[in-house]
Amino acid sequence: MANYDWEKRKYVIGAVATAIVLLYIVRLFTLQIMSDDYKKNADSNAFLKKVQYPSRGVITDRHGKLLVYNQPSYDIMVVMNEQKGVDTLDLCASLGITKEDYVRRMEEIKDRRRNPGYSNYTQQLFMSQLSSEEFCVFQEKLFRFPGFYVQRRSIRQYEVPCAALVLGDLGEVSPADIEEDDYYQNGDFIGKSGVERAYEKQLRGEKGTQILLRDARGRIKGRYMEGKLDTRPVPGKNLTLGLDRDLQALGERLMEGKLGSIVAIEPATGEILCMVSAPSYDPRILAGRNRGKHHVRMSADPMKPLLNRAIMGQYPPGSTFKTTQALTFLQEGIITPETAFPCHHGFIYRGLKVGCHGHPSPAKLVPAIGTSCNAYFCWGLYYMFGNRTKYKDVQEAMTRWKDYMVSMGFGYKLGVDLPGERRGLIPNAPFYDKAYRGSWNGLTVISISIGQGEVNATPLQIANLGATIANRGYFVTPHVVKQIQGEALDTLYTRRRYTMVEPRHYETVVEGMRRAVLSGTCRKANLPGIEVCGKTGTAQNRGHDHSVFMGFAPMNNPKIAIAVYVENGGWGADYGVPLGALMMEQYLNGKLSPESEKKAEEFQKRHINYGTEAR
C-alpha cells in the first residue's frame, strides 16, 4: 500500500515550515532593525520624564531686605476613576467654587480636544495655585474626597507691595518662548517683565528630570534604573538689587494719585536706588490664580499702570537740560563762566521770543543756572550754531552738539538691565534737514537749548544726567541688579563712561546747581545739614506743564542723584523739588524728620486730576 511518491511530501512539509520561519525572521528584521519608530514609540510609552522644578532665585534689596521670595501654593489634582462618590457640594464649599464651576471644570478635564493628555488613571489639574489660606480649609477635608490630590508648587510672593514694575512678573510661557528656547515646555513659567524677565536665565536655575516608568494605564511604577539617569534641579541664583526698599516705598507713597516717575541712582556705581513709576500696582495681584484677570484689567486702564514710565516714558526734560547746554558751551569754548548774556524777560531776537521770568540781567553762568534763565542758554546755542569759524555750517555744529548729548547718555538707550527701555530723542542735522528742507539755523531750533522742542528723554536719562554731574564727568550705566549670586556683573555695569566734557567745567555747573538750591528755583530742596545741588524743570506741553527736578547730594562726595518727573504738576518747584528733597532726605538720613513726614503725608494726599483721557 505504501506509496513512495508520498514520502517525497516530507520535503513539501519541511519547505513550508522553513518558509514560515524565514518569513517571520524577515518580519522580525523589519520590525526590529529596519525601523526606529517602534523604539521611539516604546520610550514614549514607558518613560515619563517628570520635570523637577528648581526653586527660583530670591530677590533682596541693597541692604539684604527681602523683596521677592517663593511661597508654596497648591494645585488640586483629580484622578477621574477614583473620585466616584465624592460629596460635590461639600467639595465646592471647601474650595469656594459653585456647583456650576465644578461641573464645567470636570467637563473641561474630560474634553480630549482641550486636554489631549487626558487619562482616567492619572492626575489631572482641577484647580491651580491655591494659596496656603485657601488650601487650609480644603486640606482638613481632603480625606473625604477620594481621588483628589494635592500637588505642591511655588508662586512668587512679595514682602512689600512696591516696585512691581521693576521686579516684573511671571507668566506661563507662550508658544514663541518655547520656540526660542527649548528649555521651556508648555505650562512652565517665565519672567514676563522687569527683573524677572531680564534675569530669567539666572533666576530660573536648571530643571532636573526624573525618569519614571509608566504602565499601560498611566500609573507610575517606579524609577528607571533606580534613578541613575535622573538629574537634580539646580536652584536659581539669588539677586541683590541696588534698590533701597524704604526709599522705593516712600517714592511710591509720594507719587500716589499722580502720573510720573522718580528715579534715584548712586552716582559712583550706577546702581538704581529707586525706580518709581506712577501709577503702579501691588505686585501680588499678578502672582497666582487671578493674574489673567488683573492683567487684562490693567492693560485696558487708560492710565497705563503697566507702563514703566521711568524707562518707557519719553518726556521733554525741560530746564534740567540746561546743565547739558552749559557743559557743552563751556567745553566748546562758546562761553566761559564769566560770559554774561542779557535777559529782558526772555530771549528776543529777530522777532523770535522765548520768555523768561524776572531776574537780574545780564546774568553770568552760575546765576543763570541758579535762576534757570532761558535767554542765557538760547544765546549760547545761537552763538554756537552760528559760529562759522569753528563749524563750517550749522549741520556740523548740530552734529557736534548731538555728540555731546549722546556722550551724556541721551538719544540712545542707556542699557539699563530692564526690558523695554526707550531711547528718548536727540535730534541731529539730517533730522532738521528733513524737517525744514535744509533751511534752518540756530534760531529755528533754539528751544532744544532749554530742553523743549524735539528733545525727549526718559526719567532714567535725566537721573543719569544728575549722576554724571555728581561724578563730574562720567557715569556708570544705571542698573537695577547690584549682585548676582556666584556670578560677576556684566562689565557694562562696572565700567565708567566719560562724557566729552572736562571735570573742571562740571564744577561750574555744580556751583550753579548749588546756587539754585540756596537762592534760586530749588530753595525748597535746601535740606538742613546736607549740601543739595539741584535743577528744576518746568516742561511745557500741550496741557498743564510737567514738574521736573534733577539733583544730587551731598555736593561733595555725592551719594544720590535723582530725577523727579510729575506729569502736569506745574512748576518744577510745585512737585519736583519737594518730592526730590524728601527722597534725598530719606535716603541720606535713613528716615524722615517729623516735619518732613508731615510734608510727605500732605504730598501723598495731593492728587492731580488727569481726567479720563488715555495717556
Partner 1 sequence: MERRLDDNKKKGVWRSLDWWTILIYLALLAFGWISICGASYDFDMGGNIFDFDSRSGMQIVWIGTSLALGFILLMLDDKLYDTFAYVFYIILLVALFITPFLAHDIKGSHSWIKIGPFSFQSAEFAKCATALALAKFMSTYGYNIGRAKDFLITLGIIVVPIVLIILQRETGSALVYLAFFLVLYREGMPGCVLFAGVSAVIYFVVGIRYEQTMLGYIPTSVGEFLVLLMVILFTAGMVRAYCGKTPVTRHILLYGLGIVTIALGFSALVIPFDIKWVLVSVCAAMILYLCYVALRERIMRYFYISLFALGSIGFFYSTDYVLNHTLEPHQRIRIYVLLGLTDDPSGAGYNVNQAKIAIGSGGLLGKGFLNGTQTKLKYVPEQDTDFIFCTVGEEEGFWGAAGVLVLFLILILRLIHLAERQPFAFGRIYGYCVMSVFLFHVFINVGMVLGLTPVIGIPLPFFSYGGSSLWGFTILLFIFLCIDARRNLARKD
Given the rule CB under 8 A, which residues bind partner 1? 1, 3, 6-7, 9-10, 12-14, 16-18, 20-21, 23-25, 27-29, 31-33, 35, 37-39, 41-43, 45-47, 213-217, 221-222
Closest CB to partner 1 among 43 and 101? 43
Q: Measured from the CB of residue 79, what is the shortest distance to partner 1 in angstroms? A: 18
- In three-state form (DSSP H/G/I as H, E/B as E, the rest C), the secondary structure along 242-262 is CCCHHHHHHHHHHCCCCCEEE
Q: Which is nearer to partner 1, 17 or 136 (CB)?
A: 17
CB neighbour class for 44 (10 Å; exposed up to 12, middle 13-18, buried from 19): exposed
- DSSP assignment string, 495-534: SEEE-SS-HHHHHHHHHHHHHHHHHSTTGGG--TT---EE
Give the nearer residue to partner 1 in terms of CB position, either 33 or 614. 33
| CB of 215 or CB of 602, closer to partner 1 | 215
> Closer CB to partner 1, residue 48 or residue 518?
48
Shortest spacing between CB 298 and partner 1, in angstroms: 47
Q: What's the closest the beta carbon of residue 80 comes to partner 1, in angstroms?
A: 18
C-alpha cell at 89: 457640594
Distance CA 352, CA 337 (A): 26
Q: Which residues contact 451 (CB under 8 A, 6 or more apart)?
A: 316, 317, 318, 319, 320, 321, 322, 457, 537, 539
CB-CB contact of 105 with 126 (8 Å)? yes
Q: Which distant-in-sequence residues (6+ apart) come within 8 Å of 340 by Cβ?
A: 362, 363, 364
The H-assigned helical ranges of 306-428 are 309-312, 322-332, 365-371, 374-386, 394-407
Nearest residue (CB) to partner 1, 11 versus 143:
11
With respect to partner 1, which residue has the nearer C-beta, 10 or 542? 10
Residue 212 near residue 47, CB atoms below 8 Å: yes
Q: How far apart are the first and last CA of the chain?
A: 112
Residues 561 and 349: beta-carbon distance below 8 Å: no
- Which run of H or E residues covers position 7? helix 4-7
The overall longest dimension of the chain from CA atoms, in Å, is 146
Cell numbers 484689567 correspond to what residue? Answer: 297
Q: How far is the CB of 212 from partner 1 (least distance, A)?
A: 10
Q: Which is nearer to partner 1, 49 or 293 (CB)?
A: 49
Nearer to partner 1, 218 or 453 (CB): 218
Q: Read out DSSP for 102-162?
A: HHHHHHHHH-TTT-TT--TTS-EEEEEEE-HHHHHHHHHHGGGSTTEEEEEEEEEEESSS-
- Separation CA 365–CA 338 (nearest Å): 7
Shortest distance, CB of residue 187 to partner 1, whole angstroms?
25
CB of 137 to partner 1, least distance (A): 35
Q: Which is nearer to partner 1, 121 or 349 (CB)?
A: 121
Residues 80 and 110: beta-carbon distance below 8 Å: yes
Q: In 10 A of CB 33, how many CB atoms?
A: 8
Q: What's the closest the beta carbon of residue 228 comes to partner 1, in angstroms?
A: 13
Nearest to 441 by CA among 480, 521, 489, 384: 384
Least distance in Å: CB of 36 to partner 1?
A: 9
Q: Which is nearer to partner 1, 41 or 88 (CB)?
A: 41
β-strand partners of 214: 220
Burial of 36 (0-12, 13-18, 19+ CB in 10 A): exposed
Q: Using CA atoms, how far apart are residues 260 and 222, in angstroms rounded to an integer?
A: 57
Q: In the bound complex, what is the minimum distance in angstroms from residue 229's beta carbon to partner 1?
A: 13
The smaller minimum CB distance to partner 1, of residues 9 and 99, is found at 9
Give me the least distance between CB of 2 and partner 1, in Å please.
8
Of 121 and 183, CB closest to partner 1? 121
Let me know: does 548 contact 538? Beta carbons within 8 Å: yes
Closer residue to partner 1, CB minimum distance, 53 or 121 = 121
Residue 122 or 428: the one with the smaller Cβ distance to partner 1 is 122
Q: How many CB atoms lie within 10 A of CB 532?
A: 27
Identity at 285, one-letter amino acid code = I
Cβ at position 217, least distance to partner 1 in Å: 8
C-beta of 9: minimal distance to partner 1 in Å? 5
Q: What angle do CA 374, 577, 559 make, to 5 degrees?
A: 105
Question: For residue 475, with 0-12 CB atoms within 10 Å meaning exposed, 13-18 middle and 19 or more buried, which class applies?
Answer: buried
Verify cis geometry, omega within 30 degrees of 0, for the bond prior to 72. no
CB of 251 to partner 1, least distance (A): 59
How many residues appear in the chain?
Answer: 615
Minimum CB separation from partner 1 for residue 46, in Å?
Answer: 4
